């Protein structure tokens, strides 16, 4: 599976994916948009949910698309770089690119490794790496969010089911490992949200409170 992937290509994918994922769209959007530093607002998270607390839906949308898009772009570049390789090798490199971009978002070098919770980037890489899985996870998020009005719970359920969706849609095994890897980190980053969910104190969508995703 790895035979056709050179060490140089793998290293370039890891470094390039990480640096791409490290781009803090939330910070950039709020600063350029005249809304200050998103890290000084609400929960201090750099994701779209906290950007929305500035009252600027346009900046929140830019952040959402940017955070998801950077993960998708990392996967696309890896996919293009392995067009002549086997499907297994391509799945491996795209998964490496996706994981690297995801880590970049969570631990961006530009922000002293203090990044977001990864939900938007998760959806971006999954839609690019295995669109049926990403789409199913997105529908799951929407369903849970609509029924229970809890963004964090919707995210947690969606990422937890993503690895299962990989097998449902018969996607390559590396994508399943990617899903498990990202799901584990999303759960870790949502430790505070999980604690509030267990206590019944997690704010619902539209309410003021700690960042949910």
pLDDT digits (tens, 9 = 90+) for 5-58: 889 999 999 999 999 999 999 999 999 998 888 888 877 888 888 888 888 899
Q: Coil, helix or strand for 113?
A: coil
Q: Contact at 8 Å (CB) between 210 and 196?
A: yes
Angle at 105 between CA 203 and CA 149, to 5 degrees: 20
Q: What is the pLDDT of residues 129-161, one digit of tens each?
A: 999 999 999 999 999 999 999 989 999 999 999
Band of residue 213 on the pLDDT scale cut at 50, 70, 90: very low
Band of residue 207 on the pLDDT scale cut at 50, 70, 90: low
The CA-atom distances, in angstroms, between 153 and each of 78, 143, 150, 170, 175 are 31, 11, 5, 26, 23
Q: What is the pLDDT of residues 92-111, one digit of tens each?
A: 999 999 999 999 999 999 99
Q: Coil, helix or strand for 50?
A: helix
Decide if pLDDT at 3 tops 70: no
Q: Say what the pLDDT of residue 35 is.
A: 87
Which residues touch 142 (CB under 8 Å, ≥6 apart)?
A: 154
Q: What residue ranges do the domains of the chain occupy?
A: 7-199
pTM over 0.85: yes
Decide if pLDDT at 211 tops 50: no
Q: Say what the pLDDT of residue 212 is.
A: 42
């Amino acid at each position: 599976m790895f035979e056709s992937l050179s060490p140089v290509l793998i290293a370039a994918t890891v470094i390039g994916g990480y640096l791409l994922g490290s781009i803090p769209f939330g910070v950039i959007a709020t600063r350029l948009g005249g809304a200050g530093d998103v890290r000084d607002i609400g929960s201090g998270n750099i994701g779209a949910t906290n950007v929305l607390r500035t009252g600027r839906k346009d900046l929140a949308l830019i952040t959402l698309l940017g955070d998801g898009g950077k993960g998708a772009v990392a996967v696309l570049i890896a996919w293009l770089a392995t067009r002549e390789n086997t499907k297994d090798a391509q799945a491996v490199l795209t998964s490496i690119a996706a994981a690297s971009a995801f880590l970049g978002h969570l631990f961006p070098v530009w922000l002293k490794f203090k990044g977001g919770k990864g939900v938007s980037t998760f959806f971006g890489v999954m839609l690019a790496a295995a669109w049926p899985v990403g789409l199913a996870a997105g529908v799951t998020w929407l369903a849970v969010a609509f029924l229970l009005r809890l963004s964090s719970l919707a995210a947690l359920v969606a990422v937890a089911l993503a690895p299962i969706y990989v097998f449902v849609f018969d996607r390559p095994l590396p994508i399943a490992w990617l899903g498990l890897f990202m799901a584990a980190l999303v759960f870790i980053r949502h430790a505070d949200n999980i604690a509030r969910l267990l206590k019944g104190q997690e704010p619902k969508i539209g309410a003021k409170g700690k960042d949910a995703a």
